[in-house]
Structure 1
Amino acid sequence: MKVDYHVHLEEGPYSLRWLTRTAEALLFFQQPDSPRHSLAWMEEMAARMGKRVAQGEFSREWLDLYRVRAKQLGLQEVGVVDHLYRFREFKPYFEQHMHLADDELGRLQREWLDQVCTTSIDEFVSFILSQQPVWAEDGIALRLGIEADYFSGGEEVLAPLVANYPWDHVIGSIHFASGWGFDNPQTQERFLAMSLLDLYEETFAVVGQAVASGLFDIVAHLDNLKVFGHRPPEAELVPLYRRIAGLLKQHDVATEINTGLYYRYPVKEMCPSESFLRILREHDVPITTSSDSHFPDHLGSYLEQARNTLKQSGYQHIATFEQRKRTLVSL
């Protein structure tokens, strides 16, 4: 079965790069009728972009591009999630745990949070639920999910989130180390001033807490701390990999093979690393496949390679989810 369980509809900041990338996605599915790069071509694209911005991410027209791509790729299940930091209702949660002091990092992260936290979780949930029958007509199961950042001590806020909505799957993830958003390219120089092994040990300890929290069906991109290529020798990380694999097995939590870092970030490597994946297989940890796409043309990106990597590592099944019940299906 072909599935993609980690798909986003939109994410700021709303920069010129966002405009360019959104236009590229629209062009992937439909080229204007006018000659390329003519004034008429530009006017048509400006009209399409204006419509996309006015409608926002929760429009059938935008989601239909994902559906079209899913049909092209033969995907049978697609899990749409949005980052928890997108939702205004949970902005205080991030304000509590992020570094937002009046210093260079804090000001940068405050600006980022204000830029990306723009919508309502209720609007997201109702929209995805309303579109499930449309996808079902094409034989594709549209799953409702959420990607929630886990911080130590965040269970009190996350537990009601998990319980109060009709999720098919709840993804837990780590994007912050001691309040620092480590996947922000504007702050990557901070890696150079740190003991990488200490950083990995501290961050993997939080990953372990997320696994043990009982909140999540999937803990995502387990080793995304490598995003910019800063990491200790792989041999030094093996004990951390084994600890996380053991916790995932103990608490019956799945993970994913996530292609996002391979095609969107400098490290150009999937999560988890090949050695980490072998250890997960040795522990019989359930796994699913994810593109971590943020635009419809990236849906399913490199999932065939991911499936082949799983098979080479000894996996024969992947995990799917419905109403938070996990099922293993053949690769």
Structure 2
Amino acid sequence: MPADYHTHTPLCRHAEGEPEDYVEAAIAAGLTEYGISDHAPAIPEPFDDWRMSERELPEYFHWINRAKARADGRIAIRSGLECDWLAGCGPWIADLSSRHDWDYLIGSVHYLGDWDFDNPKWLGRWAESDVEAVWSHYWKTYAEMAEAGIFDILGHPDLVKKFSHVPGGDLDRFYEPVIDAIAASGSVIELNTAGWHKPCAEAYPSPRFLELACSAGIGLVISSDAHAPSEVARDRARAVEMAKAAGFTETVLFEGRRRSFEPL
């Protein structure tokens, strides 16, 4: 089990644990790489209450260095950020990418306009929304993120299903244009196991999306989205089987924003 690249720190205000504990959990899980990718700052600040601020970046770098010290060569430590795709964010992402020698950047869609739709705080807004319209907005936004070509990994592709609001009919109408955009961009997607522990009770993305991604030649990483040491590599074996069932035979590794490949 090579890598878990999507993990968080207490700087995001909704995770817990110390870097030393995450490192030991990753080693105990049999990983060979532990990636740190907390929610990146967004501007203008204060933006919301679930990410680090720009002034906390030095503290984030200190967290990464503590993890490397604890690892002491026993496991590779990779550094990244989970960056929100927001209107006009390109220059800001370029700025963030210059602040550190990142191993990868994850792009994610958490916002549709001013609505962070996966935030339980605003769950009531779903009852007032047209699910078909929300899904159309989400996947259009996701395709735009892919087309920008600035992220190495595209996070939890169908996060929009988190609270089990799913339109009727064949969902390929949403998936296929996005698959084309991702394939053209060269970005990798993640199979994110956190969804199994959310109301949708399904990993992100769905098995059908994974099948389409594999057929399109899109690369894959498997991530836990851990917000506590106990969640590192959670459900990894189950995710590997899901990936294999979709046709994947390998996963992607990142170092210095360069790729290598590891058999599943």
Once residues 252 and 169 of structure 2 are traced to their aligned partners in structure 1, the CA distance between those partners, rounded to angstroms, is: 27
Answering whether residue 39 of structure 2 is matched by residue 83 of structure 1, we say yes
Which residue does the alignment assign to 1:123? 59
Once residues 188 and 261 of structure 1 are traced to their aligned partners in structure 2, the CA distance between those partners, rounded to angstroms, is: 16
Which residue does the alignment assign to 1:213? 148
Once residues 123 and 141 of structure 1 are traced to their aligned partners in structure 2, the CA distance between those partners, rounded to angstroms, is: 20
CA contact (8 A) 1:175 1:183 kept: yes
Matches of residues 146-157 of structure 1 in structure 2 within 5 Å? 146-157=81-92
Corresponding residue pairs, total = 263
Matches of residues 210-249 of structure 1 in structure 2 within 5 Å? 210-233=145-168, 235=170, 237-249=171-183
Which residue does the alignment assign to 1:179? 114
Shift in Å, 1:142? 0.8
Shift in Å, 1:120? 0.8
Which residue does the alignment assign to 1:67? 23
CA contact (8 A) 2:219 2:252 kept: yes
Once residues 280 and 234 of structure 1 are traced to their aligned partners in structure 2, the CA distance between those partners, rounded to angstroms, is: 20
Q: Calculate the aligned-residue CA RMSD, in Å.
A: 2.0
Cα 1:93/1:250, change in 2 over 3 Å: farther
- Of residues 191, 194, 198, the one that matches 1:260 is 194
Shift in Å, 1:130? 5.1
Helix, strand or coil: the match of 2:6? strand
CA contact (8 A) 1:152 1:206 kept: no
Answering whether residue 263 of structure 2 is matched by residue 327 of structure 1, we say no
Answering whether residue 121 of structure 2 is matched by residue 169 of structure 1, we say no
Cα 1:294/1:115, change in 2 over 3 Å: closer
Once residues 24 and 66 of structure 2 are traced to their aligned partners in structure 1, the CA distance between those partners, rounded to angstroms, is: 17
Once residues 259 and 287 of structure 1 are traced to their aligned partners in structure 2, the CA distance between those partners, rounded to angstroms, is: 13
Cα 1:241/1:296, change in 2 over 3 Å: same
Percent identical among aligned pairs is 27
Max Rg structure: 1
CA contact (8 A) 1:67 1:135 kept: yes
Helix, strand or coil: the match of 2:5? strand
Shift in Å, 1:81? 1.0
Helix, strand or coil: the match of 1:248? helix
More helix by share: 1
TM-score, L = length of structure 1: 0.74
Structure 1 alignment gaps of length 5 or more: 23-56, 96-112
Answering whether residue 128 of structure 2 is matched by residue 193 of structure 1, we say yes
Once residues 259 and 208 of structure 1 are traced to their aligned partners in structure 2, the CA distance between those partners, rounded to angstroms, is: 22
CA contact (8 A) 2:37 2:79 kept: yes
TM-score, L = length of structure 2: 0.92
Structure 2 alignment gaps of length 5 or more: none
Helix, strand or coil: the match of 2:123? helix
Matches of residues 28-43 of structure 1 in structure 2 within 5 Å? none
